[in-house]
Amino acid sequence: MPLKKLICDLGKRARAASKQLAQLSSAQKNTGLLAMADELIASQGALLEANAKDVERSQAEGLSSAMIDRLTLTPARIVAMAEGIRTVAALPDPVGQTIKQWTRPNGIQISKVRVPIGVVGIIFESRPNVTSDAAVLCTKTGNATILRGGREAIGSNLAIAAALGRGARRAGLPEDAILLVPTTDREAVKLMAGMDQYIDMIVPRGGHTLIEAVVAAARMPVIKHYNGICAVYVDKDADLSMAEEIILNAKTQRPGVCNAIETILVHRDCAEAFFKTGGQALLDKGVQIRGDERVCALLGDKAVLATEEDWNTEFLDLILAARVVDSVDEAIAHIESHGSHHSDCIVTANEETAEAFLNQVDSATVYWNASTRFTDGGEFGFGAEIGISTDKLHARGPMALEELTTYKYQIRGTGQVRK
């Protein structure tokens, strides 16, 4: 089938399925989700086999270690995917919730009610678990979804989507509620982005080039999951042991994810003490430190001099840009100039300084004395996430059930007419 016809056909099928999904009760949707979780576990062997082929091919093609980590499925990760689905099933269904209700002087009653968006397109790279997370969140909120994954994970994505589809159909959900584009042709991205007659919202998750391509071509609203250039600022009043633990976690636990930090900013009053212990701890973990002149003076040949580009780079690897600053205001200015408005943290015992940081840093998630690795739908209690939006409208931060709904006004009258 020609690609344009294929994508158009997927759109038509998803639109029809969305109409059916929107009429299902919460109980019906939850039954479907639990069946999908069970089918993932039952299909573990097939999922691991498909994933092993993807990993082998990607390693041969020279994919980075961070991207290989994102790509790899394990039995534990499959169990986690299934548990994520069950968690979503147990959460309250936002569809049908009354956000606000009031009565006008003429007796008309107005209700603002949550409803599904309709058809959501998800374009993503590398991480096959996104196939599951996106599909189940959309199903829970009565949305059909069209998924287009990256070339590196095509086998894994097809296997996951097939398993989810089997579970959904067994529970009586529409057959076309979850659709996966079965090709890695890049033209499919452009075709999806232009298909506003069928897709109501599109969410790109991946590199800057992918997101820019979707934004340039999209004829429908786009929720962007932009770079995670996240920073930790170590204030002069910080507990340095706490700062070291937070930074090690935020950088080295999983360096290839978007909520890992790429920059540390350290107040001049504690810089020498911090880099003596915390800097060495990072080096011991294999982190390459790219520092400004003051950092390099403290670490000597253990650090390399940072370039201007380093302050604006999402390394997704064991590389960290480091700068000494003279104040919290300078730290905030650096984050606003070089960050990506994703996740940023201050470590301090000074509440006034912390509140200034929390209020002035314009990021989707801002932390005081906690690792940025908590920017995650599961960690926020959302069960899963469709992405972490760095936009301001209509979703920001981990995007889960409520962000996959819109609203409409329902007006109830007793014969009123406008005069």
Are 7 and 131 spatial neighbours (Cβ–Cβ below 8 Å)?
no
Q: For residue 207, is pLDDT > 80?
A: no
Is the pLDDT at 76 greater than 80? The verdict is: yes
d(CA 47, CA 54): 11
In contact, 389 and 224? CB cutoff 8 Å = yes
Given pLDDT bands bounded at 50, 70 and 90, which one contains residue 227?
Answer: confident
Torsion of CA 350, 353, 358, 360, to 10 degrees: 180
> Residue 123 belongs to what H/E stretch?
strand 119-124
- DSSP states of 294-349 as a string? HHHHHHGGGEEEPPGGGGG----SSEEEEEEESSHHHHHHHHHHH--SSEEEEE-S
**Lowest-confidence segment of 121-135, 254-268, 340-354 by average pLDDT:** 121-135
Non-local (6+) Cβ contacts of 277 within 8 A are 240, 244
- Assess whether pLDDT exceeds 80 at residue 126: no
178 pLDDT above the threshold of 80: yes
Of 184, 135, 158, 182, the closest CA to residue 50 belongs to 158
Average pLDDT, the chain: 95
pLDDT for 187-204, tens place per residue?
A: 999 999 999 999 999 999
pLDDT at 226 over 80: no
As a whole number of angstroms, the distance between CA 12 and CA 152 comes to 27
Residue 34 has pLDDT above 90, yes or no: yes
pLDDT in the model for residue 392: 86
Predicted TM-score (pTM) above 0.85: yes
What pLDDT was estimated at residue 374?
97
Does 3.40.605.10 match the CATH number of domain 3-224+398-412?
Answer: yes
pLDDT band with cut points at 50, 70 and 90 for residue 22: very high
User: Which CATH number applies to 230-374: 1.10.1060.10, 3.40.50.2300, 3.40.309.10, 3.30.9.10?
Assistant: 3.40.309.10
Residue 45: CB partners within 8 Å, gap ≥ 6? none
Q: To the nearest 10°, the Cα dihedral for 329, 335, 336, 339?
A: 180
Which 8-state DSSP code applies to residue 222? B
359-378 residue pLDDT tens: 999 999 999 999 999 999 88
pLDDT, position 264: 98
Half-sphere exposure for 48 (CA within 13 Å, toward CB) = 11
Q: Look at residue 66 and tell me whether its pLDDT is greater than 80.
A: no
- For range 216-241, the mean pLDDT: 94
120, amino acid identity: V
Helix axes 26-42, 154-170, angle to 10 degrees: 130
Domain ranges of the chain: 3-224+398-412, 230-374
Q: Residue 42: what pLDDT?
A: 98
Give per-residue pLDDT as tens, 293-336: 999 999 999 999 999 999 999 999 999 999 999 999 999 999 99
Q: What is the pLDDT of residue 279?
A: 96
